[in-house]
Structure 1
Amino acid sequence: MASPHTHKRRTLLIRLSVAIAAVLALALLILILALTVFKARHPVISVNSIAVSDLNFAVDVARLRLHFNVSLDTNITVRNPNRVGFKYANSSALLRFRGDDVGEVPIPAGEIGARDTRNLDLTLALMTDRLIFDSDFYREAITGTLHFETFIRMAGKVRVVFDFHVVSYTSCDLEIHLSTRMVFNQTCRYKVKL
């Protein structure tokens, strides 16, 4: 016959085993949900439109100078496909000419709610001082068509049990026809990084 002390110990051991099993089952359930239903996904940046808002182009033959200013109104949509909010850090949109940054606009830090979408209107202004000594720029300007690239990078985090850092990139190649002051042949590419 078992002593009362042994019976209490066995009961305590059974309760402890049940409690440990319940905690492990709960942790496993949370892990499965975090890796499936609540899996961290990258935000999707879509470029809706790029339009020339301001374009000044003039050739000063007497002084052998080219005056050029351009501003591009860019409308983008950032979609958060996650079931939790996406907090993004200070980001930026760049205007590039042949791989060199010639314009920039900051995108202030913010948050996009779960499965929510945010529209952002950005104005990219060309910094002409970065093109003064670029002979490729003058060659393209003479043809009447300039080739630019817009580049947008947003980095942030999604918290699903742990913080997951996500980064999304969007770049668009485009042509600006100086005579019509219009954007043509816009081709965009989207990249992500977890």
Structure 2
Amino acid sequence: MADSHKGWKICATVTGIIFITILVVLVVLFLTVLKLKQPEIVARPVNLEGFDVVVFPAIRVNVSVGVLITVKNRNYGSFKYDNSTAHISYRGNVIAEAAFEDGMIPARKKHNISASLDILADKLILDSHFRKDLVDVGVLNFTSHTIVHGKGSMLKIFKKKAVSYTDCNISIVVGSQSVDSTCHTRVKLK
């Protein structure tokens, strides 16, 4: 009987040690490798998709700008994004906006989010600075602001929200119909 009791003690001790070891390994994995990380979000330079300006006999403007954001999901779980919008402003007034379609980025993958924004000519022409910028300076300066809301999940249990803010300064040179842009992105985890 004593041998049986001693055998149960050894079995319980070995089982306890194995259980504690597995628990420690899982905690270390979740705190290091499997920890939800910020996605890497890079705004690409804005491209000019269409540009048509007629000054005489009347000012007519048709400008289309493409916005491209690359999201790299560094996690071992998926990253789902939604409620995303892009705005283009001219001297503080919003002159174009677009919504991005919802999507999901699989674990450890890259995904491009793109939108084409058509600038509302009537809002642009009504600005008192537009004619001077167009004719005298020959450069139209815009700013774009893009917000991407997303949620990373690990094993469909652990979830963390993230919001990306991308701001770009865009200069369209009228004579050469070229565009120059610089973008900055910041990500906020919630």
Give the structure-2-normalised TM-score.
0.79
1:167-186 map, 5 Å: 167-184=163-180, 186=181
1:84 aligns with 2:77: yes
1:72 aligns with 2:65: yes
1:2-40 C-alpha deviation (Å, 9 max, x unpaired): xxxxx9xxx89xx6xx77x94x77665544333321222
1:1-194 map, 5 Å: 22=19, 29-60=25-56, 65-142=58-135, 143-160=137-154, 161-184=157-180, 186-194=181-189
* Structure 1 portions without partners, runs of 5+: 1-6
Which deviates further from its counterpart, 32-41 or 172-181? 32-41
**Displaced runs of 4 or more, over 6 A:** none
How large is the Cα RMSD of the aligned pairs?
3.0
- Provide closer, same or farther for how the CA distance between residues 27 and 159 of structure 1 changes in structure 2, counting only shifts above 3 A: farther
SS at match of 2:59: strand
- The answer to whether the Cα contact below 8 Å between 1:42 and 1:167 also exists between their aligned partners in 2 is no
Which deviates further from its counterpart, 117-126 or 174-183? 117-126
**Hey, what's the Cα distance between the residues in 1 that align with 2:187 and 2:127?**
32
Q: CA deviation at 1:80?
A: 0.9
Aligned to 1:4: none
AA aligned to 1:162 is: F
* Structure 2 portions without partners, runs of 5+: none
Q: CA deviation at 1:41?
A: 1.8
**Hey, what's the Cα distance between the residues in 1 that align with 2:102 and 2:152?**
14
1:67-124 C-alpha deviation (Å, 9 max, x unpaired): 2120013333221111111011131222222333211222111100111011234212
